Homo-oligomer: A and B are copies of this chain.
Amino acid sequence: MKSKAPPGPRRAVVLLSGGLDSATALAIAKEQGFEPFALTIRYGQRHAAEIAAARRVAAELGAKKHIELDIDLRAFGGSALTADIDVPKQRTDEDMAEGIPITYVPARNTVFLSLSLAWAEALGAFDVFIGVNALDYSGYPDCRPEFVAAFESLANLATKAGVKGTGHFRVHAPLVSLTKAQIIRKGTELGIDYAMTSSCYDPDSVTGLACGECDSCLLRARGFRDAGVSDPTRYCSTGG
């Protein structure tokens, strides 16, 4: 029953999907002096390749501990990532800008942050990192700065430290206002090898290679081009 932060470096829980963004958020947490505890949620997403990527990233970037937690959001349905709905391919910028995509998973980041908060409270940590990004995912309600701020307020009411005033929770979203290219430049400066990450919504079920055609692949590929950084992603189609 630890209710106070233990001695030593400050601990932070970092949500780690295995994608480019969350790997960068983990590297930034380390850069800021936090001891990272990585949390990966297996929520029934189609892309198990992400989980393998999360393990590589946690090991490579030196997470103090890595928990993979199962929670089957397929029970609720309502998203192309958790239900039997085709992931859209080769969409144009106009298509992507139009409303909330069907790859949105209902309340996903609320669920993820609440689990991070649970672990943080059990660890005696007061910092949580999430790699959300409001620019490239403007259609997702739970990637916006106002969502992050509201969760931080909630966290300080929801926990022992909030009642006792013995600590203040912070939700860090260091990528929230960066473009994909800026994220890639930042991570590259921090020495991340993005080859170990997986961003594809619909990777090959055998090889785990990226499709090169879903929204996430298109945004990632363009990010590398715009950043002027060589793209290490391996694609299963010729499209990439």
Contacts and interface: CB of A to CB of B under 8 A. Distances in A.
A206 interface: no
A70 B142 CA distance: 23
Contacts of A105: 118
A113 B154 CA distance: 12
Given A71-B70, A100-B163, A107-B159, A76 B122 contact: yes
A97 interface: no
Interface stretch (A28-36, A52-60, A145-153): A145-153
Contact of A111 (B1, B79, B118, B160): B118
Interface string A91-135: 000000000101011111111011101110111000000000000
B2 A78 contact: yes
Given A2-B78, A71-B70, A150 B157 contact: yes
Interface in A2-35: 2
Contact of A71 (B69, B78, B150, B157): B69
A190 interface: no
A240 interface: no
Contact of A102 (B1, B110, B144, B155): B1
A106 to B, nearest CB: 4
A117 B122 contact: no
Contacts of A142: 157-159
State the majority secondary structure of interface residues on A.
helix
Contact of A121 (B106, B114, B144): B106
Nearest to A121: B106
Contacts of A184: none
A67 interface: yes
A62 interface: no
Given A142-B158, A150-B153, 7 more contacts: A78-B123, A100-B163, A106-B121, A107-B117, A107-B118, A141-B160, A150-B158
Interface of A: 1-2, 67, 69-73, 75-79, 85, 100, 102, 104-111, 113-115, 117-119, 121-123, 141-142, 144, 146-147, 150-151, 153-155, 157-160, 162-164
30 contacts: A1-B85, A2-B78, A69-B71, A70-B72, A73-B118, A76-B118, A76-B119, A76-B122, A77-B122, A78-B121, A100-B163, A106-B119, A106-B159, A107-B118, A107-B121, A107-B155, A107-B158, A107-B159, A109-B158, A110-B154, A111-B118, A141-B157, A141-B160, A142-B159, A144-B157, A150-B150, A150-B153, A150-B154, A150-B157, A153-B153
